[in-house]
Amino acid sequence: MTGRAPLHKAAAGAVVAILAATVLAADQFTKYLAIQNLPPEQAVKILGDFLIFYLVRNPGAAFSLGEGVTWIFTIALAVVAVVIVWLTATRLRSRLWAVVLGLLLGGVLGNLTDRAFRQPGFPVGHVVDFINTPWMMPAIYNVADIFIVTMMISVALLVLIGLRLDGTREVRAAKDGRPEVGQSEDAAAHVDGRPDADR
């Protein structure tokens, strides 16, 4: 079966940029609505105990850990964003990776925006959290967090299945150390002369 040709660099960059901008906009808009409409630190039940809105400003990471070293989280988010941009510019040709990295970048930029521009100021701004699902986890989070967590899981899955950033797949060796029967190293990475895309 012939796979689709890999993305051009410009197309991969466009996918990442559009998805990142969409997630960033959604995150900041929902935070704006939360600030304008929710009472601070008061539970507002939307769907009983299934979905609760609870507006807080979080100086730390998940579960409010590291409240005294907020600047470290700012640096970590910035580093992740820079790495994604660098990978997009230099190596990314896979459609699946473009989607995953674009959504991940949007989530990272959402929380990084809070760290940079919200009170008490750069680089220790507090992240706006307002979503609470106690049946799933004892934490309050936001739209950016949802994309960060789900896309990090997606990154792990793509690595496990052996899909590379350029759209080719890793060669799976047989027990004797040689390529699998019927699959040379070249054939494992290409189909009809093209990278084995994700598609």
Report how far residue 24's alpha carbon sits from residue 33's, in angstroms, rounded to the nearest whole number: 14
**Does residue 129 carry a catalytic annotation?**
yes
Q: Could you tell me where the beta strands, DSSP code E, fall in the chain?
A: 44-47, 51-58, 127-132, 140-141, 190-191, 194-195
> Known catalytic residue: 198?
no
- Annotated catalytic residue: which of 145, 166, 176, 198? 145
Terminal CA-CA length for the chain: 12
Q: Which residues are CB-contacts of 56 (< 8 A; sequence separation ≥ 6)?
A: 40, 41, 128, 129, 130, 140
Distance (Å, rounded) from C-alpha 184 to C-alpha 53?
55
Residues with Cβ within 8 Å of 23's Cβ and at least 6 positions away in sequence, in order, are 102, 103, 105, 106, 107, 109, 110, 143, 144, 147
Q: Which of 129, 166, 192, 198 is catalytic?
A: 129
Residue 153 contacts residue 174 (beta carbons within 8 Å): no
Given a contact cutoff of 8 angstroms between Cβ atoms, the answer to whether 190 and 196 are in contact is: yes
Catalytic residues: 129, 145
